[in-house]
A = this chain, B = another copy of it.
């Protein structure tokens, strides 16, 4: 009674871990219950199905993450009052909270960041629909903010660049570790602030490119 409902949290933690490393589709429920040390039927008892489990894993972290992004954006909007908000700050509000996850092990940490990146790249339409749904509000607030920060950029160019942003961000979240070996140790993906700095710096320049 002192400790209650370890089972649900244990399943969520184990699923998050394994979904992130091997991808949701390549992870079996038996691997999850093996790591969580619970019974196989507990997954369906508490969550209903594998798909609903993934949804629960994502919602647990994504809801606060998106709230943080929106709060950061609103804060920036308040700060810059009637002036145009600097593009760099908009991008930092979008990208920063997600990449900073890896600094916060208590809230999911690098594990969830990797999972989020993986879900962006999952071909499964069910997973894509779930993500689109979870990110609808964020997109609806950030796209106008980007447009305001880049008033001269044609919408077509803007959408192409958002697409590139998503690719670069997702790949960085899902596979930052690959960069360590690829760069021959010159880059350290564990240094979150450098990572954010590099990505925001790159994206800011990309978004500011002259339209052709």
What residue in chain B is nearest A211 (Cβ atoms)?
A: B201
Copies of this chain present: 2
Q: How large is the interface on A (under 10, 10 to 19, 20 to 34, 35 or more residues)?
A: 35 or more
Chain B nearest CB from A188 CB (Å) reads 9
Tell whether, in the assembled complex, residue A202 and residue B26 are in contact, meaning their CB atoms are under 8 Å apart. Answer: no
Question: How far is B202's CA from A168's CA once the two chains are assembled, in angstroms?
Answer: 12
Chain B nearest CB from A11 CB (Å) reads 21
Q: Does A198 contact B (CB under 8 A)?
A: yes
Q: Does A155 contact B (CB under 8 A)?
A: yes
Tell whether, in the assembled complex, residue B206 and residue A160 are in contact, meaning their CB atoms are under 8 Å apart. Answer: no
| Subset of 30 A-B contacts with CB under 8 Å | A22-B123, A23-B122, A23-B124, A25-B25, A26-B123, A120-B171, A121-B121, A121-B171, A128-B178, A155-B183, A155-B186, A159-B179, A159-B187, A160-B179, A160-B187, A160-B202, A161-B202, A162-B182, A163-B171, A163-B176, A163-B178, A164-B168, A164-B172, A164-B198, A167-B172, A197-B212, A201-B210, A202-B207, A205-B210, A206-B209
Residues of A within 8 A of B (CB): 21-23, 25-26, 118, 120-124, 128, 155-157, 159-172, 174-176, 178-179, 182-183, 186-187, 195, 197-199, 201-210, 212
